[in-house]
Amino acid sequence: MTMIPDDDSLFCYSEAGKIASVILKKGSSLIEIGNRVLEIVESIEQMVEEQGCGLAFPLNLSFNEDAAHDTASADEQRVFLEGDVVKLDLGVHLEGYIADTAVTIDLGDNALLIEASKAALTKAIEIVRPGVTSGDLGRAIQHEIQVRGYHPVSNLTGHGLARYSIHTPPSIPNISFQGGVVLEEGMVFAIEPFASTGSGRVSEKNRIEIFQQTAVKPVRLPSARKLLESVRNRHGMPFARRWITDGKQDIALASLISQGIVRSYPVLSDVPGSLVSQHEHTVIVTSDGCIVTTA
């Protein structure tokens, strides 16, 4: 039996959602051909702080065949180019209650691809209510994407949200699924369809800019100890390499990863030359439907 969020946590979910929605719109308008990626990422992340909220994860900005988990590096040189399909994925939290939302900005001529993930998200949200299964949502998502001639990304999913935790059950598939989780009133989760011109499967690239502490253990290496100290305020939520200004962060990260204390999030990509679009909202299941906190 799912716990129905109490009034305080509902308030935080809803406030975080409203703020995320406003910042995502403002942020989208900054993604223009010729603008510098690092500047835009930093300015959007700053908007979250200015609203008195925290980032649930580094601002994800993923290009073209990259579906997720890219963000600017400290020495980022990229600028937005004509033709780019840019996924802007923002996580805002208030007191640990998370709003996770994403849009795709088309700097080329890919309106139907963008529409595919957007329509899939709209349709999935329409059918959310207690008793529906996660597999039902997956079927609706797959259908909306395939009728437009694209592939849903089958190995990326939506996910439950809990306090300070971005990936909890249930997972919400982007393809039809037998069974799955039966949705219950009070569940909080993100739905995030991805539509692709490629294979519909992502794999890990070598590029890694996002990390997360997953265990607490004693460490000896001073730079590693310092890094853990500097991410303690993350409450276990992911952080960007860019945020660590120690100079020895790469050695520290390698050591912490090998000790099983930190995990990495490599950029996830479909095949080279393909294009992927994504849309995402966070919802709370009610007795007869859902509230979209990030609407």
Binding site for Mn ion (CB under 5 A): 89, 100, 102, 190, 192, 280
- Strand runs (DSSP E) across 107-237, as ranges? 151-152, 158-162, 165-172, 188-191, 194-196, 203-213
Distance from C-alpha of 80 to C-alpha of 107, rounded to nearest angstrom:
8
Which of 125, 115, 178 lies closest to 145, judged by CA? 115
H or E stretch covering 12: helix 7-29
Residue 220 CB, nearest distance to Mn ion (Å)? 35
Q: Catalytic amino acids?
A: 89, 100, 159, 167, 192, 280
DSSP secondary structure letters along 138-149: HHHHHHHHHHTT
Residue 246 CB, nearest distance to Mn ion (Å)? 27
* Helices of type H across 63-204: 111-127, 134-147
Q: Which is nearer to Mn ion, 79 or 243 (CB)?
A: 243
Question: Which residues have a Cβ under 8 Å from the Cβ of 212 and sit 6 or more positions away?
Answer: 234, 236, 237, 238, 239, 262, 263, 265
Residue 260 CB, nearest distance to Mn ion (Å)? 24
